[in-house]
Every structure is written in C-alpha cells, then in structure tokens.
C-alpha cells in the first residue's frame, strides 16, 4: 500500500524532500512506519525524531490526515493515508 509523507520544518531539510510517497506493507502502524521505514531511509531524520534510547521523541508531532496521532497507541495506516511529520519550533 502507499502512504504519502510530508516533512515540515527541520525534518524537510533532514530528509532532503518536503513530500514523498512510500510503499509499506498492509497493517503497518504509524510507529512501525516511523521506526522501520523513515528512520532507516534518513539518518538525519532519525537523529531528529529519536531519543538516544531509540524511542520516538515525545515532542514529535505526527498527523494522519488532519488528525494528530497519539504515538503511545498503535495506529494502523491505510492505503492512501497522508502522514505529516513536524517538530516544534522554539524561539523568541
């Protein structure tokens, strides 16, 4: 199945693209998708979204369509889903 991914802010630079379509197996969860597909593809993204322990950072914002995903609850992806990844931007 195909899932579209949009990278925002510093993740866009780390991935070297703002959007792509990725082929994944049916039943893949958002968490598996991030850890097994995205972090494997892009070392810079992995460094940004993963803690030293290998867990996803709690500040990572993930949207599937227009709904924010709870990274503590497994959420299966569906063919044609659009996933948006972003990290909060701080400044003053």
Q: pLDDT at position 4, please?
A: 98
Nearest one of 11, 78, 5, 23 to 50, comparing CA atoms: 11
Domain residues for 60? 2-86
In this prediction the pTM is 0.92
Residue 90's pLDDT band, with cuts at 50, 70 and 90, is low
How many domains does the chain fold into?
A: 1
Give the pLDDT mean for 38-62.
96
Is residue 91 assigned to a domain? no
Is residue 92 assigned to a domain? no
Percent of the chain whose predicted confidence (pLDDT) is above 90: 93
pLDDT in tens, 17-33: 999 999 999 999 999 99
Give the pLDDT mean for 3-17.
96
Q: pLDDT at position 89, please?
A: 78
72: CATH: 3.10.20.30
**Which pair of tokens denotes residue 2?**
């195909």
Is residue 80 assigned to a domain? yes
Residue 91's pLDDT band, with cuts at 50, 70 and 90, is low
Mean of per-residue pLDDT scores for the chain: 95
CA angle 40, 8, 39 (to 5 degrees): 10
């Amino acid at each position: 199945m195909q899932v579209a991914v949009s990278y925002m802010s510093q993740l866009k630079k780390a991935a070297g693209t703002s959007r792509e379509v990725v082929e994944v197996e049916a039943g893949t969860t958002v968490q598996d998708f991030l850890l097994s597909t995205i972090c494997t593809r892009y070392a810079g993204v992995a460094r940004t979204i993963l803690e030293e322990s290998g867990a996803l950072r709690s500040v990572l914002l993930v949207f599937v369509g227009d709904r924010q995903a709870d990274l503590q609850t497994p959420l299966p992806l569906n063919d044609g889903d659009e996933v948006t990844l972003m990290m909060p931007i701080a400044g003053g």
